[in-house]
Structure 1
Amino acid sequence: MAPLRRFNRLPLRSRLALLTAVAVAVAVAVSAFACWFLTRNQLRDELDNALRSTVIPADYANLMLRNCQDSDPTTNPKVLPGSPSGQVVLAGGERCVGPNSQPVEVQDADAEVAAGLREEVLHDGATESGQEVRVLTKRAGPAGTAVSISRPLSEIDSTLNTLALLLAAVAGVGVVGAATAGLWIARAGLKPVDRLTGAVEHVALTEDLEVRIPVEGEDEIARLSQSFNSMTAALASSRDRQQQLIADAGHELRTPLTSLRTNIELLVRSEETGRALPAEDRRALLASVKAQVVELAALIGDLQELSRPDAAAGGGRLEIVALHEIADRAVERARPRGSGLTIAAALEPWYVRAEPASLERAVVNLLDNAVKFSPSGGVIEVGLRSGELTVRDHGPGIPADELPHVFERFWRSPSARSLPGSGLGLSIVARTVQQTGGAIALRAAEGGGTVASVRLPGAGTPPPA
C-alpha cells in the first residue's frame, strides 16, 4: 500500500512516463526471453542432429570391449580409424571408455538401451570432471551393449551467453528510450490539460468567467474543454441573471420603501411636534403604510421564490395531485380579492404530478393577474378541460408586441405600472409550470381581454394506489 500511495503522489506526467517504461520493460523482457529460449532450443536441436548424424563403425563396440582395460581404458589406442570418441555401455550399467574420451556418467536410460528396452536416448549428462555434455546412446554391437557419444554443451552456451548480453543491452536501451519517449508523450499529450488547469486556476483567482479554452479535435480532452466552456458560460449567464435580479429587486424595493419611509416620517413628525394630523389623513396614512407593508412582504416572498435553485424551487417533493381541486381552492382564495367581480369556474377532473403548494400559488397568481386587469363588475372565466387550464379576463388585453415579455422578471406593461404588483407573478407561474413539465401561453381573447392557457401532462383519472 505504501508504494501505491507514493506512486499516486507523483505528477500525472511522471506516472504516465513510469507506466510506459514499465510496460515496455515487461514487453522487452518477455520478447528477449522468448528469443533466447527459441535460440537455445534451435541450437540444442542442431546439436542433437549432429550427434544423430555421427557414424559409428559396425565393429566399434566389439573392438572397444576386446581392448577395454579396467585399469586405464582411456589410454587404449586400439580403435578403428575415424571412430568417434565415446564409451560402450553395458546392460548392468558398466562402461568402457574410448581413447581420448572423457568418461560420462551412465544413467538408467543408457542401461535400458543396452538391455534392448529402447533403441536410443538423448539426454543431458556430465563428465567426471563436471563438464556438462549432451549424450546420445544407441544400440550397437553384441546383445547387452550400447554406444554413448557426447558433445559438450559449452559449444552452445557461449553463443547463448553472448545473445543474453546483447538482449540485455537492447532491453536496457529500449527501457530508457521508452521512459524518455513516455515523458515526452505525456508532456505533449497533457498540454491541453495544462491549459485547462491554468484556466480553472485563473477563474478561481480572478472570478473571470469569460475565459474560454480553444477546442481542438474530438477526443476526450476536446470534450473536457468543451464542457468547461459550457460550464463557464452557464456560470456567467447565471451570475448575470443574479446581478440583474439584484438590480431589479433593488429598484422595485426602493419605491415601496421610499413611500413607506415618507409616511412614517409624517406620522413621527406629527407626534414630535404635537401637531396632530386630521383623523381622516391619519387613517389614510396608516392604510397606505399597511398596503405598502403588504406589497413589500409579497415582493420579498416572490424574490425568495425566484432565488431558489430550480431543483428546490418547489420546496417539497412531487406527488400526484388533483389539478381541479387546486384550481377550485385558488378560485376561492381569489374571490375576496376581486370585489365586484364574478369568477365562473368549470373544472373537469385532471391529475398531475407536481408540488401542491407551488402549483396552487401559480394558479392564484394567474387569477390575481386577471383580477387586477378586469373592469369593475366584470367576469373571470376559469376552465379545465383535457389537461388545459384557462383563465380569461375581459380587461383591456395585452398588445401583441408586449406578449413576448410578459414572463420576464420585473417586466410590467407601461399601462400597468400604476397598478400594484412587482412584475414577478407571471415569472413564478412560468417557472412552476415548466418544472412540472407543462407549458404556458398568453393570447388575446376574442371580444377583448386576455386568455392565460396552462397545459400540464397528466390523466383524467387518478392512478391506482
Structure 2
Amino acid sequence: MAVAVAVAACAAAAWFLVRGQLLDSLDEALRKNRVPTAVVLQQIDAGRCTAVPSAERAASPNPFESTVQIVDRNGRSCIIYGQQPLAVSTDDVAVALGHREEAVHDVRAADGVTYRALTRRLEDTDAAVTVARPLSEVNESLSTLALVLGLVAAAGVLGAAGAGVALARAGLRPVDRLAQAVEHLARTEDLAVRIQAEGDDEIARLSRSFNAMTAALASSRELQQQLIADAGHELRTPLTSMRMNIDLLVRSDETGRALPPDERRELLASVKSQLAELAALIGDLQELSRPDAAPAQGPLEVTGLHEATERAVARARLRGTGIAITTELAPWYVRAEPAALERAVVNLLDNAVKFSPAGGTVEVTLAAGTLRIRDHGPGIPAAELPYVFDRFWRSPAARSLPGSGLGLSIVARTVRRAGGQVELRPATGGGTEAVLSLPGAPTPPPELPESTRPFPSDHLIVG
C-alpha cells in the first residue's frame, strides 16, 4: 500500500508537470501566431466588427491554423478565421478596453469544443483580437500519458508487492528458525540447540541472545546437576559412618553383649560429630542454594569488621587448640550482614588453623579495610588457586581432613554481596595468606547509635 501510494503520487506529479509544460508550449505558440493589424482592420467598420462570411472562411485557407476573432469594447465579437465563434469573457473585454495587455484562458466554442485562447489588444483601436486553438491536441497527449503512467504504476506496484513478499519471506526466515528452535526447546528441553547467527542486524542479535540464553541455561543445569551429585557424595560419607556406628550400638543392645564403656563413648561421640557435620553441611547447602540476587537472610547494616573478626578469632581459638592466633585490628566499619560476615571470617580462620602445623601461629591483621589471615602451613600449589572458591572443591592433600568444600564458596558469596573482594595467595616465606577487602570507613557516623548508623558516604571506598 505504501509503494502504491508513492507510485500514484509520482505518477500524478508527472502528469500535472507535463500538462503544465504542454499548456505553456501552447500559450507560447499562440503568442507567436500574431494576426497582422491590417487584416483585422479590414473587418472593423466605423467601430463595428464585421465577421467574414462562413462560406468565404471555408473556401479560403487559414494561414494561422487557429480560430481568430475580434472583440470590441462592448463585448461584441466577429470571427475572421475558423468555423466556430468563441464565447467572450470579461477578461477579453478588459483587454479591449485597455485594462489589460493580454488574457490567457480556456473558452468553449459554440459546438462545445474547448479552446485555449489568447486575447491581445489592438493598438490604436477599441478592440482586441483573440487567437485560439483546440485543447484536444493537449488533452490527447495527456490521455496517452495517463494511460502509460497508469500501466507503469500498476506494473511497478505489482512488481514491488512481489519483491516485498519475497524480501519479507527471506528476512523472516531467521525468525522462523528462531521460532522453531524455541518450540523445539519448549517441547524437548534440549538446551544444546543453537541458531546460526550471521551479520549484525536485529535478527542476528536476537539469535545470538537466544544462543547465549540457552548456553546459560545449559550451564545452570549442569551446575545444578553437579551440585546435586557433589552434595550426595558429601552427604554419603557422614551418613555411612553414622549408620555403621548406630548399627554397632543397636547390635550390642539386641545381642545383649554390652560394649566397653570407652568404646561406647567413642561411638556416641562419633555419632554426635557426624550429626554436627551433617547439620553444618545442610546449612552450607541452604546458604549456597539462594541465588546471588536474593536478599540476605538478615538486614544489611553498618557493622564493625574488626569486631566481627575479634568474635571469629575467639571461636577459632576454641577449635584450634595448640595454634596461636595473633591479632592487630584497626577499626573498620562496613555495610554487611553481621552474622554472614562473621561466618565468612570464621571459615577463613578455620582453614588457616586446619593447615597450620602443631604449635604454629596464625597472624590476623586489619588495616584500611583489608583483612589478612596468614598461616605457616604447607601452602596451596599455584595450579590449585583458581579453584579454591568453587563449590565442593577440595585440594587432594586435604581430602582426608574434615570439611565439605563449601566454606570458601560461602566466603566468596558473602564478600561479593558486601561489595568486596577476597583471594588466597602464597605467603612470603611459606604458607597461605587470605586477603579480604571491603569498602567502608574507619569511623561510624556520630549522630546515631552504632547499630543503626547509616553508611558514611563521604568515607565510602569502592572495592
Taking structure 2 as the reference length, what is the TM-score of the superposition? 0.82
**Alpha-carbon distance in 2 for matches of 1:47, 1:358:** 97
* Alignment correspondent of 2:371: 389
What's the counterpart of residue 373 of structure 1?
A: 355
1:347 corresponding residue in structure 2: 329
**Partner residue in 1 for 2:4:** 25
1:17 alignment counterpart: none
Distance 1:113 1:399, change over 3 A: closer
Contact 2:97 2:126 in 1 (8 A): yes
Distance 1:59 1:396 in 2: 132
Aligned pair partner of 2:196 in 202, 206, 214:
214
Q: Is 1:57 aligned to residue 36 of structure 2? A: yes
Q: Secondary structure at the match of 2:365?
A: strand
Given that 2:70 and 2:128 are in contact with CA atoms closer than 8 Å, whether structure 1 keeps it comes out as yes
Does the residue aligned with 2:457 lie in a helix, a strand or coil?
coil
Structure 2 CA distance for aligned equivalents of residues 286 and 267 of structure 1? 9
1:111 maps to 2:93: yes
**Which residue, 106, 111, 124 being the options, matches 2:106?**
124
Partner-residue secondary structure (3-state), 2:42: helix
Aligned residue among 239, 243, 247 for 2:221: 239
Question: Who is 1:16 aligned against?
Answer: none
User: What amino acid is aligned across from residue 392 of structure 1 in structure 2?
Assistant: R
Q: CA deviation at 1:114?
A: 1.0
2:86 & 2:254 partners in 1: Cα distance? 133
Letter in 2 for 1:366: L
Using the alignment, how far apart are the partners of 1:176 and 1:315 within structure 2?
67
Partner of 1:309: 291
Shift of the alpha carbon at 1:156?
A: 0.9
Please name the residue that 1:165 is paired with.
147
Q: Please tell me the residue identity of whatever aligns with 1:196.
A: L
Once the two structures are TM-superposed, the CA of residue 111 in structure 1 deviates from its matched residue by: 1.6
Amino acid at match of 2:350: D
Are the counterparts in 2 of residues 114 and 146 from structure 1 also a CA contact under 8 Å? Answer: yes
Q: Which residue of 2 aligns with 1:180?
A: 162
Q: Which moved more, 1:267-276 or 1:220-229?
A: 267-276
Deviation at 1:104, TM superposition (A): 2.6
Give the SS at the match of 1:407. Answer: coil
Deviation digits for residues 281-332 of structure 1 (CA, Å, limit 9, x no counterpart): 5554444333323221211121122222232274577666543344334334
> How far, CA to CA, are the matches of 1:400 and 1:100 in structure 2?
114
- Indicate the larger mover: 170-179 or 405-414: 405-414
- Is the contact between residue 43 and residue 52 of structure 2 (CA under 8 Å) also seen in structure 1? no
Following superposition, the deviation at residue 119 of structure 1 comes to: 0.8
Query: Given residue 288 of structure 2, which amino acid in structure 1 is its aligned partner?
Result: L
Give the SS at the match of 1:232: helix
Identical positions, percent? 62
Classify 1:152/1:351 alpha carbon distance in 2 versus 1 (closer, same or farther; 3 Å): farther
- Match for residue 44 of structure 1 among 15, 23, 30: 23
3-state SS of the aligned residue for 2:348?
A: helix
Cα 1:68/1:357, change in 2 over 3 Å: farther
Contact persistence 1:88–1:95 (CA under 8 A): yes
- 1:419 alignment partner AA: L
Q: Give deviations 1:428-451, integer Å, cap 9, x for gaps.
A: 223333455544332344565432
Please tell me whether the aligned partners of residues 347 and 385 of structure 1 are also in contact (alpha carbons under 8 angstroms).
yes
CA distance in structure 1 between the aligned counterparts of 2:307 and 2:114, rounded to whole angstroms:
102
Report SS of the residue matched to 2:277. helix
**Deviation of 1:43 (Å):** 0.8
More off after superposition, 180-189 vs 75-84: 75-84
Range with bigger deviation, 323-332 or 418-427: 323-332
* Structure 1 counterpart of 2:457: 463
What amino acid maps onto 1:24 in structure 2? V
Q: CA deviation at 1:276?
A: 6.7
Quote the Cα distance in structure 1 between the aligned partners of 2:263 and 2:286.
Answer: 34
Q: After superposition, give the CA deviation of every residue in 1:101-158 in whole Å (9 maximum; x if it has no partner).
A: 4233322222211111111111122234433221111101653311122222121111
Helix, strand or coil at the partner of 2:45: helix
CA-CA distance at 1:248 after TM superposition: 0.5
TM-superposed deviation, 1:343: 3.3
The answer to whether the Cα contact below 8 Å between 2:48 and 2:72 also exists between their aligned partners in 1 is no
Q: Which amino acid aligns with 1:210?
A: A
Q: Distance in 1 between matches of 2:435 and 2:206?
A: 41
Distance 2:284 2:275 in 1: 14
Indicate how the Cα distance of structure 1 residues 130 and 449 shifts in structure 2: closer, same or farther if over 3 A, else same: same
Q: Distance in 1 between matches of 2:183 and 2:77?
A: 86
Query: Relative to structure 1, is the Cα distance of residues 341 and 121 closer, same or farther in structure 2, using a 3 angstrom cutoff?
Result: same
Structure 1 residues 42 and 396, CA, compared in 2 at 3 Å: closer, same or farther?
Answer: closer
CA contact (8 A) 2:43 2:51 kept: no
**In 2, Cα distance between the equivalents of 1:313 and 1:271?**
49
**For residues 95 and 303 of structure 2, what CA distance do their matches in structure 1 show?**
98
Q: How high is the TM-score relative to the length of structure 1? A: 0.82
Q: CA deviation at 1:65?
A: 3.7
1:215–1:222: 8 Å Cα contact kept in structure 2? Answer: yes
Q: Are residues 60 and 387 of structure 1, via their aligned partners in 2, closer, same or farther at CA, if it must alter by over 3 Å?
A: same
> 1:457 Cα deviation (Å)?
4.6
Letter in 1 for 2:290: R
Report SS of the residue matched to 1:205.
helix
Q: Does 1:35 align with 2:17?
A: no
- Gap change, CA 1:145 and 1:320, over 3 Å in 2: farther
* Aligned amino acid, residue 130 of structure 1: G
Tell me if structure 1 keeps the 8 A contact 2:312–2:345. Answer: yes
**Greater mean deviation of Cα atoms: 152-161 or 331-340:** 331-340
Q: Give the counterpart of 1:136 among 99, 118, 125.
A: 118
Tell me which residue corresponds to 1:428: 410
| 2:128 alignment partner, SS class | strand
Aligned to 1:248: 230
**Structure 1 pair 144/360, CA: closer, same or farther in 2 (3 Å)?**
farther
Q: Secondary structure at the match of 1:312?
A: coil
Q: Within 2, Cα distance between the matches of 1:390 and 1:320? A: 21
Shift of 1:390: 0.8
Distance, in Å, in 1 between the alignment partners of 2:326 and 2:173 is 68
Q: Which letter does structure 2 place at the counterpart of 1:304?
A: Q
Counterpart in 1 of 2:447?
none
Contact 2:107–2:115 under 8 Å retained in 1: yes
